[in-house]
Structure 1
Amino acid sequence: MSVSERPTIVLFTRDLRVRDHPALAAAARVGGPVVPLFVLDRAVRERSARNRLSYLGDALRDLREELRRLGGDLVVRSGDTVDETMRVAAATGAARVHLSFDVSAFAARRAERLREAAADRRMEVAEFPGVTVVPPGEAVPTGGDHYKVFTPYWRAWESREWRAPERAPKRLELPSGLDAGSVPKRLADSGTGPLSPRRQSGGETEARRRMAAWLDADCADYEHTHDDLAADATSRLSADLRFGCLSPLELALAAREHPACGPFVRQLAWRDFHHQVCAAFPDLAHRDYRERDIAWRSDDSGFAAWCEGRTGVPVVDAGMRQLLDEGFMHNRARLITAAFLTKRLRVHWKRGGDHFHAVLSDGDIADNYGNWQWVAGTGNDTRPNRSFNLLRQSRRFDPDGAYIRRHVPELAEAAGTEVHAPWRAEQPPTGYPSPLLDEDG
């Protein structure tokens, strides 16, 4: 059997779709059988949020249906990704492995281990774009390996010539006799954090439905409504992008066709910005990107109150309770809650980032920790001493208190502006705590 006739393994990681999947499309063009493979890696599974595992289960089942529709199937294994990939390669006689390039330290180590193992079998390993709109390393400043400030990156990102999206393969063939394996029905039983009752379902089918609805209805108003906490007028596509059930390139191209969607496209550039930072600085989740002389405090009781949404600051508590309830938090609320923890309680950004990562369905190393460091002043913000007036934020972005009342039922009957500062009321609401700090100071 010639090399071109031998199977190609497409190792799915966080690119769980068949449309605009460069690694899959290239495998189909090679000819010969294609082995779409996903490995439930124990090292990842044990530290993944239960909400993400729930989404992942949906996404894998949907991906399997899409691949079967094309004549193939999704091969599912459990164990170490590299070991299981090599076992499938040995069983099928595969000549090459295709996968999407990713930026986390774990992904970089996985790719390097895969190349080493494949070299022993004289197999080719090829990495392809698909996790971002513009691949990390394609837009770089003169004399540097990445952009450290967003605005010049945004100009470079906008001016890049983007690749053309790949169509889904018309037909796939799986090697005969290969056991496809199964997707665990209760995947979310393992992992970290709570299983949020109102978490989002996953998969390419649902993701594309959400994308179409967003572009048809709300994207044009994004510039005016995206900070309105009560309106909940953000795209809700973050988990779909995190798992690659949507192609970020397809989304960016579709949004760019709508003149009023420019501010939303800029948010996709922010996502790419954090990914190129993480590619250059893989320790983004563990170490200050820019070292600052910040006197962090160890405040276990304050941190616990923050995690539970019991700080006594309604807009902060509303955000934290939305996180627990939905596995999601409004973008503006993420900024407010992170600012309270790092700027007011002075608790280290990593503790907050780790808590978010243990709950968020859309938890992504580059975006989550990149944004936490931005708020804390150790990241890519050009104003590291930026301050946040929480009452001003609450009144500006939730003027009627609807977001607070939605997520903090103890304040559902609070009168007027007392919903923002219930400690000022003559009779503070029963059952709601006093603020951890003096928020009038």
Structure 2
Amino acid sequence: METVVVLLNRDLRVHDHPALSAACADARRVAPLFVVDPALAVGHRTGFLAESLADLRESLRGRGGELAIRWGDPVAETMRVAREVSAQAVYVSEDVSALARRRQRLLAEGCEHDRMDFRTFPGVTVVPPGALRPSGGGDHYRIFTPYWRVWSEHPRRAVLDAPATVRFPEELDAGSLPVSRRAPHGLFRGGETVARERMDKWLKYCVEDYAQGHDDLAGNRTSKLGPYLRFGCLSPLEVESLSVNGGDFVRQLCWRDFFHQVTLAFPRINRDDYRPRGQQWLDDRDAAQAWKEGRTGVPIVDAGMRQLLAEGWMHNRARMLTASFLVRRLGVDWRVGAEHFYRLLLDGDVADNYGNWQWVAGTGNDTRPNRIVNPVRQARRFDPEGEYIRRYLPELDAVPMKMIYEPWRMPKGVRGYPAPLVSMD
């Protein structure tokens, strides 16, 4: 072929990129394209995305290529670019959300109308979401453990090198990159270059300690690779292939794949109960707003919510206990919390975010749907010195730990800190 357009979405990298590699092998000219959809650019992710695209453009230029940027509807802009360069095909990495599948369907229809080929490729997960089916029937695994066993034994495709050369159509205007207007907080900077540096250090120095340290709220003992996997700055398959001593860490990658295959089978995972159980949720907007602002009066919950607001990230243990507090203690609909997380988290994607929220709410894939997490007990166990709490709640610096762990005993009006919204004793 002469020319292929590669539409990028959650695959902002050059290493182990099946769609990009296939395009470079199949065609003389390749037009990598990213379409900025203003409706989806929200929160901390706007700056992270801008940095990731700038880094990707530099990587492509280093291989003789370029990254085309357009603004607007991804389908319309992709077809416009494909016609402009007289492309013979459009390649994309296959994704599972309802929005992604609609985009893929419309692109396929547009390519058929214009007599172009349309091809989808793996790359968003370790194992393609539709590759594993239960032996007893059904279109997906509903329980994690049997999925983990089959996933662990499933053959992997080869990890691909980055293309040596990318020949960009000379007549195509590259377009302007989005500008990052966020004030960096120092925790995450977008892009494949930073992602690979972080991955290399994590796998060399930290992954073997993951099982012992990943629940330490105050410690810096999780990979923090989630945002880079969410934007595809890293290939999940490459991360897994290099994690030779990371059993528990690899299990987390499997959880990510698990929720992607659930979402493929149940694309309304962000709207409807996966397993309806007849819960009656409270429409308590004041309580929900206090939870969002980190002002519930329960320090460990508020610390997690303040971390989310400040950093666009939250420790995994804090995610579980803050989510459980909203749905189990306050009785607020899981969709309220899930939407808040999705809007703010750098690593918030549809499958993982909403799958995990439904797991906590008892409407999803948890085999113990009535599970309740006690935040006070969690604080004592995973933040025994109160370091995490005080990091994000400086107003409690001088408060004794006994009161922090038993907030209902805290004097009212401690530097403006509120009384607990619900009884915790």
Interval of TM-score (by shorter of Structure 1 and Structure 2): over 0.9
- Cα root mean square deviation, aligned: 1.4
Q: Is the 8 A contact 2:293 2:305 kept in 1?
A: yes
1:293 partner SS: coil
What is the CA deviation profile of residues 353-380 of structure 1, one whole-angstrom value per residue up to 9, with x for unaligned ones?
0011111111100000000000000000
1:59 & 1:426 partners in 2: Cα distance? 47
What is the CA deviation profile of residues 37-90 of structure 1, one whole-angstrom value per residue up to 9, with x for unaligned ones?
11112xxx3244321111110000000000000000001111111111111111
What is the CA deviation profile of residues 133-165 of structure 1, one whole-angstrom value per residue up to 9, with x for unaligned ones?
001111111211110000000001001011111
2:179 & 2:287 partners in 1: Cα distance? 37
Q: Is the 8 A contact 2:321 2:374 kept in 1?
A: no
Percentage identity across paired residues of the two chains:
54
- Provide the residue aligned with 1:30 in structure 2: 26
- Provide the residue aligned with 2:380 in structure 1: 395
- Provide the residue aligned with 1:209 in structure 2: 197
1:198 Cα offset (Å) = 5.1
- Provide the residue aligned with 1:79 in structure 2: 72
Tell me if 1:8 matches 2:4. yes
Amino acid at match of 2:192: E
What is the CA deviation profile of residues 143-191 of structure 1, one whole-angstrom value per residue up to 9, with x for unaligned ones?
1111000000000100101111111111111112211111022476xxx
Tell me if 1:225 matches 2:213. yes
2:204 partner SS: helix
Q: Is the 8 A contact 2:126 2:240 kept in 1?
A: yes
Following TM superposition, the consecutive aligned residue runs of length 4 or more in structure 1 with deviations greater than 3 angstroms are: 195-199, 425-428
Q: State how 1:365-384 maps to structure 2 within 5 Å.
A: 365-384=350-369
2:220 & 2:327 partners in 1: Cα distance? 25
- Provide the residue aligned with 2:416 in structure 1: 431
- Provide the residue aligned with 1:169 in structure 2: 163
2:269 partner SS: helix
Of 106, 111, 127, 1:118 maps to 111
| Count of residues in correspondence between the two structures | 424
2:217 & 2:42 partners in 1: Cα distance? 24
Tell me if 1:90 matches 2:83. yes
- Provide the residue aligned with 1:191 in structure 2: none
Tell me if 1:237 matches 2:225. yes
Q: Is the 8 A contact 1:11 1:37 kept in 2?
A: yes
Of 70, 85, 94, 2:63 maps to 70
Distance change (3 Å), C-alpha of 1:141 and 1:170: same
Amino acid at match of 1:66: S
2:402 & 2:154 partners in 1: Cα distance? 47
Q: Is the 8 A contact 1:57 1:187 kept in 2?
A: no
1:201 Cα offset (Å) = 1.2
Q: State how 1:283-432 maps to structure 2 within 5 Å.
A: 283-425=268-410, 429-432=414-417
- Provide the residue aligned with 2:267 in structure 1: 282
Which has the higher mean CA deviation after the structures are superposed, 315-324 or 172-181?
172-181
Tell me if 1:141 matches 2:137. no
Q: Is the 8 A contact 1:313 1:435 kept in 2?
A: yes
Amino acid at match of 2:85: T
2:92 & 2:412 partners in 1: Cα distance? 60
1:197 & 1:320 partners in 2: Cα distance? 16
1:427 Cα offset (Å) = 7.3
**What TM-score do the two structures reach when normalised by structure 1?**
0.94
Of 262, 286, 300, 2:247 maps to 262
What is the CA deviation profile of residues 203-242 of structure 1, one whole-angstrom value per residue up to 9, with x for unaligned ones?
0000001101111111110001101101131110000000
Of 234, 258, 281, 1:246 maps to 234
1:80 & 1:425 partners in 2: Cα distance? 52
Q: Is the 8 A contact 1:54 1:187 kept in 2?
A: yes
1:125 partner SS: strand
Mark the runs of 5 or more structure 1 residues left unpaired by the alignment. 189-194
Distance change (3 Å), C-alpha of 1:277 and 1:23: same
